[in-house]
Protein backbone atom coordinates (compact mmCIF):
# COMPACT_ATOMS: atom_id res chain seq x y z
CA UNK A 1 0.00 0.00 0.00
CA UNK A 2 1.16 3.52 -0.67
CA UNK A 3 0.62 6.16 2.03
CA UNK A 4 1.56 9.80 2.26
CA UNK A 5 2.67 10.98 5.68
CA UNK A 6 3.09 14.61 6.67
CA UNK A 7 6.01 14.92 9.05
CA UNK A 8 6.07 17.91 11.41
CA UNK A 9 9.33 17.65 13.36
CA UNK A 10 8.70 20.89 15.27
CA UNK A 11 11.31 21.94 17.81
CA UNK A 12 13.95 20.52 20.15
CA UNK A 13 14.04 16.74 20.44
CA UNK A 14 11.03 16.65 18.10
CA UNK A 15 13.53 16.59 15.25
CA UNK A 16 15.48 13.72 16.74
CA UNK A 17 12.57 11.44 17.61
CA UNK A 18 10.91 12.07 14.25
CA UNK A 19 14.07 11.11 12.38
CA UNK A 20 14.30 7.89 14.43
CA UNK A 21 10.68 7.12 13.63
CA UNK A 22 10.81 7.57 9.86
CA UNK A 23 13.85 5.29 9.81
CA UNK A 24 11.85 2.62 11.64
CA UNK A 25 8.81 3.17 9.39
CA UNK A 26 11.00 2.62 6.35
CA UNK A 27 11.89 -0.76 7.75
CA UNK A 28 8.19 -1.55 8.28
CA UNK A 29 7.52 -0.57 4.66
CA UNK A 30 10.35 -2.80 3.46
CA UNK A 31 9.17 -5.80 5.50
CA UNK A 32 5.53 -5.56 4.45
CA UNK A 33 5.90 -4.23 0.91
CA UNK A 34 4.42 -0.76 1.52
CA UNK A 35 5.55 2.64 0.35
CA UNK A 36 5.57 5.59 2.73
CA UNK A 37 6.12 9.00 1.19
CA UNK A 38 7.08 11.75 3.66
CA UNK A 39 6.21 15.40 3.20
CA UNK A 40 7.98 17.69 5.65
CA UNK A 41 6.37 20.88 6.91
CA UNK A 42 7.08 23.48 9.60
CA UNK A 43 5.23 24.02 12.85
CA UNK A 44 5.90 25.72 16.19
CA UNK A 45 9.03 27.72 16.95
CA UNK A 46 10.80 26.60 13.81
CA UNK A 47 7.87 27.92 11.77
CA UNK A 48 7.94 31.22 13.68
CA UNK A 49 11.61 31.59 12.76
CA UNK A 50 11.10 30.74 9.11
CA UNK A 51 7.63 32.11 8.34
CA UNK A 52 6.73 34.36 11.28
CA UNK A 53 3.75 32.07 11.78
CA UNK A 54 3.55 29.02 14.12
CA UNK A 55 1.18 27.34 11.66
CA UNK A 56 1.66 28.43 8.04
CA UNK A 57 -1.31 27.71 5.76
CA UNK A 58 1.00 25.58 3.63
CA UNK A 59 1.49 23.25 6.61
CA UNK A 60 -2.27 22.88 7.09
CA UNK A 61 -2.74 22.14 3.38
CA UNK A 62 0.03 19.55 3.37
CA UNK A 63 -1.50 17.82 6.39
CA UNK A 64 -4.96 17.78 4.84
CA UNK A 65 -3.69 16.16 1.66
CA UNK A 66 -1.95 13.29 3.44
CA UNK A 67 -3.04 9.99 4.99
CA UNK A 68 -1.52 10.61 8.41
CA UNK A 69 0.44 13.25 10.32
CA UNK A 70 3.42 12.68 12.62
CA UNK A 71 4.31 15.51 14.99
CA UNK A 72 7.44 15.66 17.14
CA UNK A 73 7.02 18.43 19.71
CA UNK A 74 6.90 22.20 19.78
CA UNK A 75 8.19 24.92 22.08
CA UNK A 76 11.29 25.96 23.94
CA UNK A 77 12.83 28.87 25.86
CA UNK A 78 13.89 30.56 22.64
CA UNK A 79 10.28 31.47 21.84
CA UNK A 80 9.10 32.39 25.30
CA UNK A 81 8.26 36.09 25.27
CA UNK A 82 9.13 36.26 21.58
CA UNK A 83 9.01 39.89 20.35
CA UNK A 84 6.36 38.94 17.78
CA UNK A 85 4.00 37.78 20.56
CA UNK A 86 3.68 34.47 18.68
CA UNK A 87 3.88 31.19 20.59
CA UNK A 88 4.83 27.74 19.27
CA UNK A 89 1.85 26.15 21.10
CA UNK A 90 -0.48 28.14 18.85
CA UNK A 91 0.70 25.82 16.09
CA UNK A 92 -0.36 22.78 18.05
CA UNK A 93 -3.83 24.03 18.99
CA UNK A 94 -4.25 25.40 15.47
CA UNK A 95 -3.52 22.15 13.69
CA UNK A 96 -5.84 20.17 16.00
CA UNK A 97 -8.57 22.66 15.19
CA UNK A 98 -7.86 22.81 11.46
CA UNK A 99 -8.07 19.03 11.18
CA UNK A 100 -11.10 18.89 13.53
CA UNK A 101 -9.56 16.28 15.74
CA UNK A 102 -12.27 15.62 18.30
CA UNK A 103 -10.86 12.47 19.90
CA UNK A 104 -7.63 12.16 21.79
CA UNK A 105 -6.39 8.62 22.45
CA UNK A 106 -3.81 7.91 25.07
CA UNK A 107 -2.88 4.31 25.62
CA UNK A 108 -1.05 3.45 28.82
CA UNK A 109 0.96 0.28 28.53
CA UNK A 110 2.97 -0.93 31.50
CA UNK A 111 5.95 -2.88 30.25
CA UNK A 112 6.76 -5.51 32.83
CA UNK A 113 10.48 -4.78 32.68
CA UNK A 114 9.94 -1.08 33.38
CA UNK A 115 7.87 -1.25 36.55
CA UNK A 116 10.71 0.13 38.66
CA UNK A 117 10.32 3.46 36.82
CA UNK A 118 6.81 3.87 38.27
CA UNK A 119 6.13 5.28 41.71
CA UNK A 120 3.45 2.61 42.21
CA UNK A 121 3.90 -1.01 43.29
CA UNK A 122 5.08 -3.44 40.64
CA UNK A 123 2.03 -5.72 40.98
CA UNK A 124 -0.30 -2.74 40.43
CA UNK A 125 1.32 -1.56 37.21
CA UNK A 126 3.02 -4.48 35.48
CA UNK A 127 1.26 -5.26 32.20
CA UNK A 128 -1.36 -2.57 32.70
CA UNK A 129 -3.03 -1.91 29.34
CA UNK A 130 -5.67 0.78 29.15
CA UNK A 131 -6.79 3.44 26.72
CA UNK A 132 -8.10 6.84 27.68
CA UNK A 133 -10.29 8.42 25.05
CA UNK A 134 -10.76 12.13 25.71
CA UNK A 135 -13.15 14.44 23.87
CA UNK A 136 -10.95 17.23 22.58
CA UNK A 137 -13.00 19.99 20.99
CA UNK A 138 -15.95 20.61 23.33
CA UNK A 139 -16.89 20.86 27.00
CA UNK A 140 -15.85 23.44 29.53
CA UNK A 141 -12.64 24.48 27.71
CA UNK A 142 -14.62 25.82 24.77
CA UNK A 143 -18.09 26.58 26.22
CA UNK A 144 -19.27 30.18 26.00
CA UNK A 145 -19.82 32.46 27.84
CA UNK A 146 -16.44 32.41 29.52
CA UNK A 147 -15.94 35.73 31.22
CA UNK A 148 -15.49 37.93 34.25
CA UNK A 149 -18.53 39.71 35.62
CA UNK A 150 -19.78 41.40 38.74
CA UNK A 151 -21.95 39.16 40.90
CA UNK A 152 -23.49 40.50 44.11
CA UNK A 153 -21.19 43.46 43.90
CA UNK A 154 -17.93 41.52 43.64
CA UNK A 155 -15.71 40.13 40.91
CA UNK A 156 -16.69 36.68 39.66
CA UNK A 157 -15.61 34.41 36.80
CA UNK A 158 -17.70 32.10 34.71
CA UNK A 159 -17.03 29.05 32.52
CA UNK A 160 -19.63 27.07 30.65
CA UNK A 161 -19.77 23.28 30.57
CA UNK A 162 -21.74 22.42 27.46
CA UNK A 163 -21.99 19.33 25.30
CA UNK A 164 -24.25 18.84 22.32
CA UNK A 165 -25.69 15.36 21.97
CA UNK A 166 -23.98 14.91 18.60
CA UNK A 167 -20.61 15.71 20.19
CA UNK A 168 -21.17 13.11 22.88
CA UNK A 169 -22.38 10.56 20.36
CA UNK A 170 -19.35 10.70 18.10
CA UNK A 171 -16.82 10.32 20.90
CA UNK A 172 -18.81 7.59 22.63
CA UNK A 173 -19.15 5.63 19.37
CA UNK A 174 -15.42 5.95 18.94
CA UNK A 175 -15.07 4.48 22.43
CA UNK A 176 -17.24 1.49 21.55
CA UNK A 177 -15.36 0.92 18.29
CA UNK A 178 -12.08 1.00 20.18
CA UNK A 179 -13.32 -1.36 22.88
CA UNK A 180 -14.45 -3.78 20.15
CA UNK A 181 -10.86 -3.96 18.90
CA UNK A 182 -9.53 -4.52 22.41
CA UNK A 183 -10.91 -6.35 25.47
CA UNK A 184 -14.53 -5.24 24.91
CA UNK A 185 -15.01 -3.21 28.06
CA UNK A 186 -15.96 0.46 28.05
CA UNK A 187 -15.95 2.66 31.15
CA UNK A 188 -17.73 5.96 30.63
CA UNK A 189 -16.55 8.58 33.12
CA UNK A 190 -18.75 11.51 34.14
CA UNK A 191 -20.08 13.45 37.11
CA UNK A 192 -23.75 12.63 36.60
CA UNK A 193 -24.60 13.02 40.29
CA UNK A 194 -23.96 16.78 39.96
CA UNK A 195 -23.75 17.94 36.34
CA UNK A 196 -26.56 18.11 33.79
CA UNK A 197 -24.08 17.77 30.91
CA UNK A 198 -22.96 14.49 32.50
CA UNK A 199 -26.53 13.26 32.74
CA UNK A 200 -26.95 13.81 28.99
CA UNK A 201 -23.60 12.06 28.50
CA UNK A 202 -24.77 9.03 30.48
CA UNK A 203 -28.15 8.85 28.69
CA UNK A 204 -26.37 8.96 25.35
CA UNK A 205 -24.09 6.06 26.29
CA UNK A 206 -27.15 4.07 27.36
CA UNK A 207 -28.82 4.71 24.00
CA UNK A 208 -25.82 3.77 21.92
CA UNK A 209 -24.88 0.62 23.79
CA UNK A 210 -27.51 -1.56 22.09
CA UNK A 211 -25.53 -1.12 18.86
CA UNK A 212 -22.57 -2.81 20.54
CA UNK A 213 -24.00 -5.85 22.32
CA UNK A 214 -20.59 -7.49 22.67
CA UNK A 215 -19.08 -4.57 24.63
CA UNK A 216 -19.56 -4.46 28.41
CA UNK A 217 -20.36 -0.93 29.59
CA UNK A 218 -20.00 0.66 32.98
CA UNK A 219 -20.45 4.22 34.24
CA UNK A 220 -18.07 5.66 36.80
CA UNK A 221 -18.00 9.03 38.52
CA UNK A 222 -14.82 10.93 37.79
CA UNK A 223 -13.66 11.23 41.39
CA UNK A 224 -13.97 7.50 41.85
CA UNK A 225 -12.24 6.95 38.48
CA UNK A 226 -9.27 9.03 39.65
CA UNK A 227 -8.95 6.78 42.67
CA UNK A 228 -9.47 3.53 40.77
CA UNK A 229 -6.88 4.36 38.13
CA UNK A 230 -4.24 4.48 40.86
CA UNK A 231 -5.68 1.69 43.01
CA UNK A 232 -6.35 -0.95 40.37
CA UNK A 233 -5.59 0.25 36.82
CA UNK A 234 -5.88 -3.25 35.39
CA UNK A 235 -9.67 -3.17 35.81
CA UNK A 236 -9.86 -0.78 32.82
CA UNK A 237 -9.84 -1.39 29.08
CA UNK A 238 -11.19 1.74 27.32
CA UNK A 239 -12.22 4.82 29.33
CA UNK A 240 -14.21 7.46 27.47
CA UNK A 241 -14.76 10.91 28.92
CA UNK A 242 -15.16 14.64 28.32
CA UNK A 243 -12.45 17.18 27.69
CA UNK A 244 -11.56 18.32 31.21
CA UNK A 245 -11.99 14.97 32.97
CA UNK A 246 -9.89 13.35 30.25
CA UNK A 247 -7.17 15.96 30.57
CA UNK A 248 -6.77 15.26 34.27
CA UNK A 249 -7.23 11.48 34.16
CA UNK A 250 -4.77 11.02 31.30
CA UNK A 251 -2.04 12.91 33.14
CA UNK A 252 -2.65 10.82 36.25
CA UNK A 253 -2.59 7.62 34.18
CA UNK A 254 0.60 8.67 32.42
CA UNK A 255 2.47 8.18 35.68
CA UNK A 256 1.59 4.49 35.81
CA UNK A 257 4.40 3.78 33.40
CA UNK A 258 6.93 6.11 35.00
CA UNK A 259 8.44 7.90 32.04
CA UNK A 260 7.24 10.61 29.73
CA UNK A 261 9.56 9.27 27.05
CA UNK A 262 7.36 6.18 26.73
CA UNK A 263 3.90 7.62 26.08
CA UNK A 264 2.31 7.88 22.63
CA UNK A 265 -0.90 9.63 21.67
CA UNK A 266 -3.24 10.00 18.73
CA UNK A 267 -5.82 12.63 17.87
CA UNK A 268 -8.40 11.70 15.31
CA UNK A 269 -11.32 13.32 13.56
CA UNK A 270 -14.09 12.30 11.22
CA UNK A 271 -12.45 12.95 7.86
CA UNK A 272 -9.07 14.61 8.03
CA UNK A 273 -5.99 12.49 8.68
CA UNK A 274 -5.17 11.64 12.29
CA UNK A 275 -2.34 13.37 14.13
CA UNK A 276 0.12 11.20 16.02
CA UNK A 277 2.50 12.62 18.59
CA UNK A 278 4.34 11.69 21.76
CA UNK A 279 2.93 13.08 25.01
CA UNK A 280 6.27 14.65 25.94
CA UNK A 281 7.48 18.10 24.89
CA UNK A 282 10.59 19.37 23.16
CA UNK A 283 12.88 18.70 26.15
CA UNK A 284 15.23 21.67 25.69
CA UNK A 285 17.48 20.31 28.46
CA UNK A 286 18.61 17.41 26.27
CA UNK A 287 17.99 18.69 22.74
CA UNK A 288 20.65 18.09 20.12
CA UNK A 289 22.50 15.61 22.35
CA UNK A 290 21.26 12.36 20.84
CA UNK A 291 19.82 11.39 24.25
CA UNK A 292 16.07 11.51 23.64
CA UNK A 293 14.04 8.35 24.07
CA UNK A 294 12.44 7.75 20.64
CA UNK A 295 10.01 5.06 21.84
CA UNK A 296 7.01 7.36 22.50
CA UNK A 297 7.24 8.72 18.95
CA UNK A 298 7.75 5.25 17.50
CA UNK A 299 4.73 3.96 19.45
CA UNK A 300 2.74 6.94 18.13
CA UNK A 301 3.65 5.86 14.59
CA UNK A 302 2.41 2.37 15.44
CA UNK A 303 -0.93 3.98 16.35
CA UNK A 304 -0.96 5.69 12.95
CA UNK A 305 -0.45 2.34 11.23
CA UNK A 306 -3.32 0.88 13.22
CA UNK A 307 -5.92 3.65 13.26
CA UNK A 308 -5.27 5.63 10.08
CA UNK A 309 -3.84 2.96 7.78
CA UNK A 310 -5.67 -0.09 9.22
CA UNK A 311 -2.33 -1.94 9.14
CA UNK A 312 -3.00 -3.93 12.29
CA UNK A 313 -0.35 -6.57 11.77
CA UNK A 314 2.33 -3.96 11.09
CA UNK A 315 1.27 -1.94 14.14
CA UNK A 316 1.42 -5.02 16.36
CA UNK A 317 4.88 -5.89 15.02
CA UNK A 318 6.13 -2.40 15.84
CA UNK A 319 4.61 -2.47 19.34
CA UNK A 320 6.19 -5.84 19.88
CA UNK A 321 9.59 -4.53 18.79
CA UNK A 322 9.34 -1.72 21.37
CA UNK A 323 8.34 -4.18 24.04
CA UNK A 324 11.16 -6.58 23.07
CA UNK A 325 13.94 -3.98 23.28
CA UNK A 326 12.72 -3.06 26.76
CA UNK A 327 12.57 -6.69 27.84
CA UNK A 328 16.12 -7.12 26.55
CA UNK A 329 17.12 -4.38 29.00
CA UNK A 330 17.92 -1.60 26.53
CA UNK A 331 17.47 1.83 28.09
CA UNK A 332 17.82 5.46 27.14
CA UNK A 333 18.85 7.84 29.94
CA UNK A 334 15.32 8.69 31.05
CA UNK A 335 14.50 5.06 31.92
CA UNK A 336 17.96 3.74 32.87
CA UNK A 337 18.68 2.94 36.49
CA UNK A 338 21.79 4.05 38.41
CA UNK A 339 24.81 2.32 36.95
CA UNK A 340 23.04 1.10 33.78
CA UNK A 341 24.49 2.20 30.46
CA UNK A 342 22.21 4.61 28.67
CA UNK A 343 21.79 4.20 24.92
CA UNK A 344 21.69 7.17 22.58
CA UNK A 345 18.64 7.93 20.44
CA UNK A 346 20.39 6.38 17.43
CA UNK A 347 21.42 3.26 19.33
CA UNK A 348 17.91 2.73 20.69
CA UNK A 349 16.50 3.16 17.18
CA UNK A 350 19.01 0.61 15.90
CA UNK A 351 17.87 -1.88 18.58
CA UNK A 352 14.24 -1.48 17.49
CA UNK A 353 15.23 -2.09 13.85
CA UNK A 354 17.15 -5.21 14.84
CA UNK A 355 14.22 -6.89 16.57
CA UNK A 356 11.49 -5.67 14.20
CA UNK A 357 10.28 -8.54 12.10
CA UNK A 358 7.29 -9.72 10.19
P1 LIG B 1 9.14 18.07 28.30
O2 LIG B 1 8.22 16.93 28.09
O3 LIG B 1 9.76 18.66 27.12
O4 LIG B 1 10.33 17.62 29.29
C5 LIG B 1 10.14 17.25 30.66
C6 LIG B 1 11.33 16.40 31.15
O7 LIG B 1 11.24 15.10 30.57
C8 LIG B 1 12.67 16.96 30.72
O9 LIG B 1 13.62 16.73 31.74
C10 LIG B 1 13.02 16.16 29.49
O11 LIG B 1 14.40 16.03 29.26
C12 LIG B 1 12.37 14.82 29.78
N13 LIG B 1 11.92 14.17 28.54
C14 LIG B 1 10.82 14.49 27.80
N15 LIG B 1 10.74 13.72 26.72
C16 LIG B 1 11.79 12.89 26.75
C17 LIG B 1 12.27 11.86 25.89
N18 LIG B 1 11.63 11.51 24.75
N19 LIG B 1 13.42 11.23 26.23
C20 LIG B 1 14.06 11.56 27.35
N21 LIG B 1 13.68 12.51 28.21
C22 LIG B 1 12.55 13.17 27.91
O23 LIG B 1 8.33 19.16 29.12
P24 LIG B 1 8.77 20.63 29.57
O25 LIG B 1 10.21 20.64 29.93
O26 LIG B 1 7.76 21.05 30.55
O27 LIG B 1 8.54 21.54 28.28
C28 LIG B 1 9.56 21.88 27.34
C29 LIG B 1 8.94 22.57 26.16
O30 LIG B 1 8.08 21.66 25.48
C31 LIG B 1 8.07 23.76 26.51
O32 LIG B 1 8.28 24.77 25.57
C33 LIG B 1 6.67 23.21 26.44
O34 LIG B 1 5.72 24.20 26.15
C35 LIG B 1 6.80 22.23 25.33
N36 LIG B 1 5.80 21.15 25.35
C37 LIG B 1 5.30 20.74 24.16
C38 LIG B 1 4.42 19.70 24.08
C39 LIG B 1 3.98 19.26 22.73
O40 LIG B 1 4.54 19.65 21.74
N41 LIG B 1 2.97 18.43 22.65
C42 LIG B 1 3.95 19.01 25.28
C43 LIG B 1 4.58 19.45 26.50
C44 LIG B 1 5.46 20.50 26.51
MG1 LIG C 1 -2.75 18.09 30.38
ipTM of predicted complex: 0.97
Q: Which of 232, 255, 278 is the last residue of a domain?
A: 255
Q: What is residue 40's predicted lDDT score, i.e. its pLDDT?
A: 98
- CATH at 300: 3.40.718.10
Q: What is residue 93's predicted lDDT score, i.e. its pLDDT?
A: 86
pLDDT (mean) for 111-138: 86
31-71, pLDDT tens digit by residue? 999 999 999 999 999 999 999 999 999 999 999 999 999 99
Q: Is residue 326 part of a domain?
A: yes
Catalytic residue among 49, 61, 251, 316: 251
The closest alpha carbon to 238, from 107, 124, 109, 104, belongs to: 107
- 300 shares a domain with 356: yes
- 84 shares a domain with 147: no
- 147 shares a domain with 208: yes
186-244, pLDDT tens digit by residue? 999 999 999 999 999 999 999 999 999 999 999 999 999 999 999 999 999 999 999 99
- 101 shares a domain with 210: no
What phi, psi does 97 have (nearest 5°)? Answer: -70, -45
Which of 260, 343, 345 has most ligand 1 atoms within 8 Å of CB, for mutation?
A: 260
Distance CA 126, CA 340 (A): 21
Q: Is residue 166 part of a domain?
A: yes
Ligand-binding annotation for 282, yes or no, is yes
Catalytic residue among 11, 19, 190, 191: 191
Atom of ligand 1 nearest to the CA of 71: 40
Burial class from Cβ neighbours inside 10 Å (0-12, 13-18, 19+) for residue 310 reads exposed
Q: Is residue 29 pLDDT above 90, yes or no?
A: yes
Q: What is residue 345's predicted lDDT score, i.e. its pLDDT?
A: 98
- 165 shares a domain with 58: no
Q: What is residue 53's predicted lDDT score, i.e. its pLDDT?
A: 97
> pTM of this prediction?
0.90
Q: Is residue 114 part of a domain?
A: no
Q: What is residue 126's predicted lDDT score, i.e. its pLDDT?
A: 87
Q: Catalytic annotation on 247?
A: yes
Distance CA 238, CA 301 (A): 20
Contact 15, 71 (CB under 8 A): no
Tally of domains in the chain: 2
- How far is ligand 2, taken at its centre, from the CA of residue 34, in Å? 35
Q: Is residue 124 part of a domain?
A: no
Catalytic residue among 126, 247, 324, 346: 247
Residues in the chain: 358
- 263 shares a domain with 241: no
The closest alpha carbon to 322, from 80, 107, 171, belongs to: 107
Q: Which of 255, 280, 300 is the last residue of a domain?
A: 255
Q: Is residue 3 pLDDT above 90, yes or no?
A: yes
- How far is ligand 2, taken at its centre, from the CA of residue 15, in Å? 22
- How far is ligand 2, taken at its centre, from the CA of residue 33, in Å? 38
Q: Catalytic annotation on 141?
A: yes
Q: What is residue 259's predicted lDDT score, i.e. its pLDDT?
A: 75
Q: What is residue 213's predicted lDDT score, i.e. its pLDDT?
A: 98
* Mean pLDDT for all residues in the chain: 95
Q: Is residue 80 part of a domain?
A: yes
- 204 shares a domain with 151: yes
Q: At what angle do helices 345-355 and 312-327 cross, to 10 degrees?
A: 120
pLDDT (mean) for 124-142: 92
- 203 shares a domain with 263: no
Q: Is 96 in the pocket of ligand 1 (CB under 6 A)?
A: no
Q: Is residue 319 pLDDT above 90, yes or no?
A: yes
Band of the pLDDT at 73, cuts 50, 70, 90? Answer: very high
Atom of ligand 1 nearest to the CA of 80: 32
- 152 shares a domain with 90: no
Ligand-binding annotation for 277, yes or no, is no
Q: Is 161 in the pocket of ligand 1 (CB under 6 A)?
A: no
What phi, psi does 36 have (nearest 5°)? Answer: -110, 120
Q: What is residue 181's predicted lDDT score, i.e. its pLDDT?
A: 87
Q: Is 8 in the pocket of ligand 1 (CB under 6 A)?
A: no
More confident residue, 137 or 30: 30
pLDDT (mean) for 285-313: 96
- 200 shares a domain with 151: yes
242-297, pLDDT tens digit by residue? 999 999 999 889 888 877 788 999 999 988 899 999 999 999 999 999 999 999 99
Burial class from Cβ neighbours inside 10 Å (0-12, 13-18, 19+) for residue 33 reads exposed
Q: What is residue 272's predicted lDDT score, i.e. its pLDDT?
A: 83
Measured in whole angstroms, the distance separating CA 219 from the mean position of its chain's CA atoms is 23
- Domain range for 349: 1-107+259-358
322-338, pLDDT tens digit by residue? 999 999 999 999 888 88
Q: How many CB atoms lie within 10 A of CB 92?
A: 22
Q: What is residue 186's predicted lDDT score, i.e. its pLDDT?
A: 98
| Percentage, residues of the chain above pLDDT 90 | 84
Band of the pLDDT at 116, cuts 50, 70, 90? Answer: confident
Q: What single DSSP character describes residue 332?
A: B
Distance CA 78, CA 2 (A): 38
Q: Is residue 154 part of a domain?
A: yes
Contact 197, 140 (CB under 8 A): no
The closest alpha carbon to 300, from 345, 258, 266, belongs to: 266
Q: Return the bridge partners of 267, or none.
A: 104, 275
- How far is ligand 1, taken at its centre, from the CA of residue 258, in Å? 14
Q: Is 335 in the pocket of ligand 1 (CB under 6 A)?
A: no
Separation in Å, CA 181 to CA 68, 123, 176, 263, 328? 20, 26, 9, 20, 28
Amino acid sequence: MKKTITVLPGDGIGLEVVKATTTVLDKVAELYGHEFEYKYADIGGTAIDKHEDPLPQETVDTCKSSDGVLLGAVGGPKWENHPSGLRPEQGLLGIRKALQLFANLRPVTGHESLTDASSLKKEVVDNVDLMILRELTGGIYFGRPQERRQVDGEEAALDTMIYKKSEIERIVRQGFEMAKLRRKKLTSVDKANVLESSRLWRETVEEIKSDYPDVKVEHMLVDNAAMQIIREPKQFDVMVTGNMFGDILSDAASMLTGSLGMLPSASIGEQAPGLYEPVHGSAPDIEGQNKANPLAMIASAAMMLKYSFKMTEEADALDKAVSDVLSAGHRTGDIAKEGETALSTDEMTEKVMEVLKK
